[in-house]
Structure 1
Amino acid sequence: MQAEATAPVAAGERLGILDALRGWALAGVLMANMVVFIGFGYASEAERTAALGSQLDDAAELLIQWLVVGKFYSLFSLLFGIGFAVQLARLEQRGEGVPRYVRRLAVLLLIGLAHLFLLWMGDILALYALMGGLLLLFRRTSDRALLRWAVVMWAVPIGWSALIHLAGLNAAQPIYGAAMRGLTTNGVDLNISAATWFNGANYREQLAIKPAEVLLRLGDLTYQMRFTKVLGMFLIGLWVGRRALFAATPETRPLLARTMRFGIGIGLPLSFARAVLGMVAGDDGTLNFVEEALYCLSTPTLALGYAAGFCLLWNDGWQRLLAWPAPAGRMALTNYLSQSLIQILLFTGAGLALGNVFGLAFVIPFTAAIFAFQVASSGWWLARWRFGPMEWLWRSLTYGRAQPMRLAAPAIVAT
């Protein structure tokens, strides 16, 4: 019985629909992050104009901001909350519960910090681990109260934005100031664009500015009030996980259909308005506030619409198509971290230095190529081993012993 109480979830216990949705979310996160890595996010106007295909930048920016940015990390956050509900229930059935989950979060925090200090300032794992700790406080909260708290968590950033843009109270500014001083101390020329600097910086030079980048990341998280946004999606995911709404049973199907219609019907136009406004707002404080308020209204709404629509299609016979990225979803941690490494090697001076070479429209084919490779390689790996490399490390540290890795016999994994 002891062995059963200290074992991770077996492959046969996994929920294929969640692995597949996690895979699609991973693709969306890759595309959103590549906006920065490819150079567009940090490039000067002259550098953007000189890039290949720059005449398509406006159309690509509109589409990506409208349909992708924010929505897929919100899907990831939703899935984290669902996973929390499922995993905690299983742990409690095994007589474990909160202590094991706290250890799981502590390991995730260490992995996130390593990602943050060694690869990329845009890490989300450390934040997930910290907010996951707060999620434990809601594990006994009623379903209705969970939804009320989720609404509050997404309303907080609207008020926060009003303080910044309408009242001039920006708590992130001192953090940004400290980060800028850290960059100059390490010899970064602030008169050139960050895209140009990264395109010429080798890995050792990039590593030297990581502490300053961590401060920049903290400033961004504070400015956006990303903390409550993530926790808000966690809470919705916890609610969904308790009810197993993703199964689209006859009992849950009407609610999923209403969620899809509302989420897409409201989220799409609001997100479009936000994307357009974000491209023209400039430094106008009032327009910046309106744009950020629209983000808070449209992003969780559209993400929920995506998720509900996915669940309905999954149960309407679209599984073969929708399940394509499931192997990548089963290895989401490994693939998320490897996406940072791949993009560093492609787009910075640590590798091919292709930053600033391509316009924003190239994000789409680059994302398709990288993610197709990840799906194929994940399928190959999982046909031979039980876990992805980082998943194995995470589970082994969580359970305090090395987990068996190799499958008893090669399995066939659909890719």
Structure 2
Amino acid sequence: MTRYQSLDAVRGFAVLGILLMNIVGMGLPAFAYMNPTVAGGDSGANLVAWALAYVLVDGKMRALFTLMFGASLLLIADAAEGKSPGAAGTHYRRMFWLLLFGMIHAWAIWFGDILVTYALAGSLAFLFRNMPPRRMIGTGLVILGLLMAWNFMGHFHFVQMRALAEAPGAAPELVAAWKTAYAELAPSGAAVAREIAGYRGGVMDVFHIRAETVIFFQTFLIPTNFVWEALGFMCIGMALFRLGFFTGAWETRTYAKLAAVLIPVGIVFGAPLAGKLWMVRWDPVTTFATDALAIPVHLAMGIGYAAVVIAIVKSGALKGAVERLAAAGRMAFTNYLGASLITTTLFYGYGFGLYGRFERAELYWVVFSVWAFQLTFSKPWLDRFNYGPFEWLWRSLVKMELQPMRRIA
């Protein structure tokens, strides 16, 4: 299979960048990811940290990571053509094992797993792999457009529900229904305290409190939201791969121009959304609307960030940094799971028990430390071995035989 340094470097950038948002759900109560007033601080450096992450990172790195998954899907499927078990056989074996890895990751390590979503969306995306690129892009945009409409429907549903409950003389059943619904959208102080206590407890305490969130993710959020967002981005990622975007086939100045347009446009449209959330104190009903409006922003900035990295790769600048970033990308599966293992051990009670003890801004020192470890560790590992540890395991399971691990001089 052909390796493209541009593809590896962008994947490395994405897997490192996604930790900037995941760290909040790892070290603080789950709802703090969306609402800084829940935990971690919402003023001073913590407010700045939230605002910068929301405008520059939140959803953008997930979009980029998912675009890359679509590109990699095609790269591997194309390489499997004409070989046993074929492109479809190889792909669906990969998705089966990815689903299993994701379930283990979600239930035993961290609730915010993305692998289950990728396995499900990837199984659907494969059906579109022979489409012309323009139709892939169109399909992806239609899926994302429908998802935006779904989120707007949720927003208007809760707006109406709240208005009816708060109207003078509202029926008791309407008031009760709104209180029940709002409790699902915004946890009480008691619920947050219970979550913190659970994650600071032993192995079974952590398991039980994590299981509640995993069930919500896997029975509601994944089937109604996450899998469709991922499918839309994957279709566009596959199209960009076919068009030569991710392989560096375009001119360097084209990538630079694309980045110079898409990233500022994303900031211009994303910053007002952050401002609106701050003004309404992160009202969960408003979040449905801002989530919908943010989807095209995530896509634009995800492509823009990829264009920046590819332009740097093609220019030949920062060779040492690019090599380490590409190595981190070649080990993206190991680095993604490894980050979860490191951070949950640091935060959870069966490890160092630091859950909920850091403010939001302080969490980024943990991110920088994990980055330093991964960038330092990935290249020397790949100088000696063919794959990262989890890449080797995944490949061996798909091939149904142990793959050669150590590099031959």
TM range (shorter): 0.7 to 0.9
For structure 2, the residue ranges without an aligned partner over 5 or more in a row are: 161-176
CA contact (8 A) 1:195 1:355 kept: no
Partner of 2:260: 261
- Measured in 2, the distance between the counterparts of 1:382 and 1:24 equals 17
Instruction: Decide which moves more: 35-44 or 226-235.
Output: 35-44
Q: Does the residue aligned with 2:18 lie in a helix, a strand or coil?
A: helix
Partner of 1:299: 298
Structure 1 194/122 Cα, relative in aligned 2: closer, same or farther at 3 Å?
farther
Q: 1:120 aligns with which of 110, 113, 119?
A: 110
- Measured in 1, the distance between the counterparts of 2:351 and 2:76 equals 39
Q: Kindly tell me the number of residue pairs found equivalent between the two proteins.
A: 381
- Measured in 1, the distance between the counterparts of 2:363 and 2:282 equals 26
Q: Which amino acid in 1 is paired with 2:239? A: W
The 5-angstrom pairing of residues 194-213 of structure 1 reads 196-213=196-213
With the length of structure 2 as denominator, give the TM-score of the two structures: 0.84
Partner of 2:12: 23
CA deviation map 1:88-117 (0-9, x unaligned): 111115462111111111111111111111
Partner of 2:316: 317
The 5-angstrom pairing of residues 46-65 of structure 1 reads 48-49=40-41, 55-65=44-54
- 1:209 offset after TM fit, Å? 4.0
- Measured in 2, the distance between the counterparts of 1:97 and 1:243 equals 20
Partner of 1:281: 280
CA deviation map 1:42-95 (0-9, x unaligned): 46858545x9xx731111110111111111111111111111121111111546
- 1:223 offset after TM fit, Å? 8.9
Answering whether residue 368 of structure 2 is matched by residue 379 of structure 1, we say: no
- 1:193 offset after TM fit, Å? 2.9
- Measured in 1, the distance between the counterparts of 2:303 and 2:40 equals 33
CA contact (8 A) 1:22 1:79 kept: yes
CA deviation map 1:359-406 (0-9, x unaligned): 111232221111111222222322222111111110001001011111
Partner of 2:169: none
CA contact (8 A) 2:14 2:62 kept: yes
- 1:334 offset after TM fit, Å? 1.2
CA contact (8 A) 1:199 1:354 kept: no
Q: Which amino acid in 1 is paired with 2:364? A: I
- 1:220 offset after TM fit, Å? 6.1
Partner of 1:91: 80
Partner of 1:225: 225
Q: Does the residue aligned with 2:404 lie in a helix, a strand or coil?
A: coil
Partner of 1:185: none
CA deviation map 1:255-310 (0-9, x unaligned): 53453233213211112222222333347577434412321121111111111122
Partner of 2:125: 135
- 1:199 offset after TM fit, Å? 4.4
Q: Which amino acid in 2 is paired with 1:292? A: D
Q: Does the residue aligned with 1:245 lie in a helix, a strand or coil?
A: coil
Percent of paired sites with the same residue: 29
- Measured in 1, the distance between the counterparts of 2:192 and 2:98 equals 35
CA contact (8 A) 1:26 1:332 kept: yes
Partner of 2:168: none
Q: Which amino acid in 2 is paired with 1:302? A: M
- Measured in 1, the distance between the counterparts of 2:380 and 2:151 equals 46
Partner of 1:242: 242
CA contact (8 A) 2:324 2:379 kept: no
CA contact (8 A) 1:40 1:360 kept: no
- 1:14 offset after TM fit, Å? 2.0
- 1:149 offset after TM fit, Å? 1.0
Answering whether residue 341 of structure 2 is matched by residue 352 of structure 1, we say: no
Partner of 1:184: none
The Cα RMSD (Å) is 2.9
Q: Where does structure 1 differ by over 6 angstroms across 4 or more consecutive aligned residues?
A: none
- Measured in 2, the distance between the counterparts of 1:286 and 1:255 equals 40
CA contact (8 A) 1:40 1:359 kept: no
CA contact (8 A) 2:259 2:304 kept: yes
Q: Does the residue aligned with 1:314 lie in a helix, a strand or coil?
A: helix
CA contact (8 A) 2:71 2:246 kept: no
Instruction: Decide which moves more: 287-296 or 231-240.
Output: 287-296
With the length of structure 1 as denominator, give the TM-score of the two structures: 0.83
Answering whether residue 161 of structure 2 is matched by residue 166 of structure 1, we say: no
Structure 1 254/24 Cα, relative in aligned 2: closer, same or farther at 3 Å?
closer
Q: Which amino acid in 2 is paired with 1:148? A: G
- Measured in 2, the distance between the counterparts of 1:215 and 1:257 equals 43
Partner of 2:171: none
For structure 1, the residue ranges without an aligned partner over 5 or more in a row are: 1-8, 182-188, 410-415
Structure 1 398/55 Cα, relative in aligned 2: closer, same or farther at 3 Å?
same
- Measured in 2, the distance between the counterparts of 1:214 and 1:195 equals 13
- Measured in 2, the distance between the counterparts of 1:107 and 1:222 equals 18
- Measured in 2, the distance between the counterparts of 1:325 and 1:145 equals 32
Structure 1 42/290 Cα, relative in aligned 2: closer, same or farther at 3 Å?
closer
Instruction: Decide which moves more: 64-73 or 381-390.
Output: 381-390
CA contact (8 A) 1:166 1:285 kept: no
The 5-angstrom pairing of residues 389-404 of structure 1 reads 389-404=389-404
Partner of 1:336: 336
- Measured in 2, the distance between the counterparts of 1:257 and 1:45 equals 38
- Measured in 1, the distance between the counterparts of 2:209 and 2:28 equals 18
Q: Does the residue aligned with 2:9 lie in a helix, a strand or coil?
A: helix
Q: Does the residue aligned with 1:166 lie in a helix, a strand or coil?
A: helix
Structure 1 110/223 Cα, relative in aligned 2: closer, same or farther at 3 Å?
closer
Q: 1:38 aligns with which of 23, 27, 32?
A: 27
